[in-house]
Amino acid sequence: MISQPQIREIVNRIKNNYSLEKIILFGSYAYGQPKEDSDLDLLVVVKKSDLPRHKRAREIRKHLWGLTDTPKDILVYTEDEIEDWKEVRQAFITKIMNQGRVLYENKE
């Protein structure tokens, strides 16, 4: 399992290396049911990006290498991509936005 200090370090590494709007924790760690083999699920929201989503996530994972053995599922969406899904009530991203736990939000 991953500790709260480790989660904070992950958030700090992401926000210190990327221009982003929000980091949202979802899944078992957000909803209070993590198990020993649970992965860490994060949605990272960026203003804009020309990269495909999988390449955005790969760039973030590079900065987290060696931090913890806990598997990480990192989704990276732009604000426009999030907006496109907002009206779809059953969408996975909509659920994350409504039920996830915000770990960081750019207030600027």
pLDDT of residue 15: 93
pLDDT of residue 22: 97
User: Which pair of tokens denotes residue 102?
Assistant: 């915000």
Tens of pLDDT along the chain (108 residues) come to: 899 999 999 999 999 988 899 999 999 999 888 998 899 999 999 999 999 999 999 999 998 988 888 899 999 999 999 998 887 777 889 889 989 999 999 987
Q: What is the pTM of this model?
A: 0.90
Burial of 62 (0-12, 13-18, 19+ CB in 10 A): exposed
Q: How far apart are CA 84 and CA 18, in angstroms?
A: 23
pLDDT of residue 18: 87
